[in-house]
């Protein structure tokens, strides 16, 4: 596990982050043809991504803790993402036809038309983004056997995933869209997802990754829980931080549109999505810091 398997899992973390951001840029470009607006297409993709990532992490992350073979579960998620990536040009084109027919039948215009486009595209993209949201916690669970190992490795794992996201953003923004094309890039990215799924399934068969009972957290007494006030305050601050970060991304995209111009260019997509990678860096940085050990406690019989 310390050698070949560890390198294989590191590659999975890196490529999983890269493919996720490649999809984001490519789907923004596809939706531009439907919306005819940079801001609306970026907003739709970012909203679907954030909603799907959160939903997937919540639903599938909890399932990974109880799954006997989390690496196999991750492999199936990657294969499902790859299948959707292969079909996404057809699915989004069908979504556009549904929008055109519905808007014409109901004589929608203005805000109602925009709301319909946003809803249809958001629902479609929520499917793969929910699967993507589950890949990181599931893969983390497959890589780490216990809580102590998780604490040591979490910062590195999220750092690899974030580095892959940055590389994927630059690759899609500066090369794939301009020189390969959107559809061919989607198919190539989907092929990578299928390969990642196959590697994960192979790893799940070559390694016993059944979950083990988590040891007590050395930073707390057994049965001790954080105070509700502290927990609620932390959740509120995390929510406000995410709100501000994504608001900045949309605002910066709007500024770049005014500077660069209306037609979509690879550099604008790269800049608009790089902020997502920077947010991931900020989230993963505290995890890399070593946990502060709790002062040693005297044996129970010697406590006053």
The pLDDT tens digits for 209-234 are: 444 444 455 555 555 566 788 878 88
Residue 302 covered by a domain: no
- Domain assignment of residue 271, given as a range: 4-211+235-284
Residue 291 covered by a domain: no
Residue 151 covered by a domain: yes
Residue 219 covered by a domain: no
Q: Give me 97's structure tokens.
A: 């036809």
Residue 119 covered by a domain: yes
Position 286 scores a pLDDT of 43
Query: Which position has the token pair 């608009």?
Result: 272
Among 74, 250, 59, 270, residue whose Cα is nearest residue 172 = 270
Computed on alpha carbons and rounded to an integer, the radius of gyration of the chain in Å comes to: 21
Position 214 scores a pLDDT of 47
- Distances, alpha carbon 147 to alpha carbons 108, 140, 144, in Å: 53, 11, 8
The rounded Cα 164 to chain-centroid distance in angstroms is 11
- Using the predicted structure, report yes or no on whether residue 192 has a pLDDT greater than 90: yes
Query: Given CA atoms 268, 116, 241, 61 in this order, what sign does their dihedral have?
Result: negative
pLDDT band at 75 (very low <50, low <70, confident <90, very high): very high
- Distances, alpha carbon 197 to alpha carbons 68, 71, 281, in Å: 17, 9, 25
- Using the predicted structure, report yes or no on whether residue 67 has a pLDDT greater than 70: yes
Of 28-37, 154-163, 205-214, 254-263, give the lowest mean pLDDT range. Answer: 205-214
Model confidence pLDDT, tens digit, residues 30-50: 887 766 666 777 777 888 888
Position 71 scores a pLDDT of 87
Query: Given CA atoms 109, 115, 120, 121 in this order, what sign does their dihedral have?
Result: positive
Q: Is 153 left (phi over 0), alpha (psi -120 to 50) or beta?
A: alpha
179 or 235, greater pLDDT: 179
Region 53-70 average pLDDT: 83
Q: What percent of the chain has pLDDT over 90?
A: 16
**Residues 6 or more apart whose Cβ sits within 8 Å of residue 276:** 21, 24, 46, 49, 165, 249
Q: Rounded to an integer, what distance in angstroms lies between the CA atom of residue 210 and that of residue 69? A: 6
Q: Rounded to an integer, what distance in angstroms lies between the CA atom of residue 44 and that of residue 30? A: 12
The rounded Cα 24 to chain-centroid distance in angstroms is 10
Q: Give me 184's structure tokens.
A: 């061919």
Position 240 scores a pLDDT of 85
**Residues 6 or more apart whose Cβ sits within 8 Å of residue 26:** 172, 176, 177, 182, 185, 186, 189
Residue 223 covered by a domain: no
Position 291 scores a pLDDT of 45
Of 41-50, 60-69, 288-297, give the lowest mean pLDDT range. Answer: 288-297
Residue 298 covered by a domain: no
Position 180 scores a pLDDT of 92
- Using the predicted structure, report yes or no on whether residue 63 has a pLDDT greater than 70: yes
Q: What is the pTM of this model?
A: 0.75
Count how many Cα atoms sit within 13 Å of the Cα of residue 272 in the half-sphere of its side chain: 30
- CATH number for the domain including 70? 1.20.1250
Residue 293 covered by a domain: no
Region 86-106 average pLDDT: 89
Count structural domains, the chain: 1
């Amino acid at each position: 596990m310390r050698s070949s398997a560890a390198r294989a899992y590191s590659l999975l973390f890196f490529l999983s982050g890269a493919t996720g951001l490649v999809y984001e840029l490519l789907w923004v470009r596809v939706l531009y043809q439907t919306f005819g607006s940079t801001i609306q297409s970026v907003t739709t993709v970012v909203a679907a991504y954030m909603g799907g990532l959160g939903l997937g992490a919540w639903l599938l992350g909890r399932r990974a803790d109880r799954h006997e073979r989390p690496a196999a579960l991750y492999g199936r998620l990657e294969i499902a993402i790859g299948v959707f990536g292969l079909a996404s040009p057809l699915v989004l084109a069908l979504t556009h036809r549904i929008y055109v027919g519905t808007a014409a039948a109901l004589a929608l215009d203005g805000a109602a038309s925009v709301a319909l486009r946003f809803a249809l595209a958001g629902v479609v993209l929520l499917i793969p983004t929910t699967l993507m949201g589950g890949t990181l916690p599931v893969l983390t669970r497959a890589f780490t056997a216990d809580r102590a190992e998780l604490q040591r490795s979490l910062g590195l794992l999220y750092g690899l995933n974030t580095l892959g996201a940055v590389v994927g953003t630059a690759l899609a923004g500066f090369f794939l869209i301009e020189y390969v094309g959107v559809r061919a890039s989607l198919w190539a990215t989907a092929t990578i997802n299928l390969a990642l799924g196959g590697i994960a399934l192979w790893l799940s068969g070559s390694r016993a990754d059944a979950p083990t009972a988590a040891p007590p957290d050395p930073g707390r007494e057994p049965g001790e829980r954080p105070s509700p006030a502290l927990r609620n305050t932390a959740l509120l601050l995390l929510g406000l931080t995410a709100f501000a970060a994504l608001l900045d991304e949309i605002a910066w995209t709007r500024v770049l549109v005014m500077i660069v111009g209306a037609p979509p260019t690879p550099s604008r997509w790269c800049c608009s999505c790089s902020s997502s990678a920077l947010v991931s860096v900020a989230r993963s940085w505290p995890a890399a810091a070593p946990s502060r050990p709790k002062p040693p406690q005297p044996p129970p019989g010697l406590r006053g």
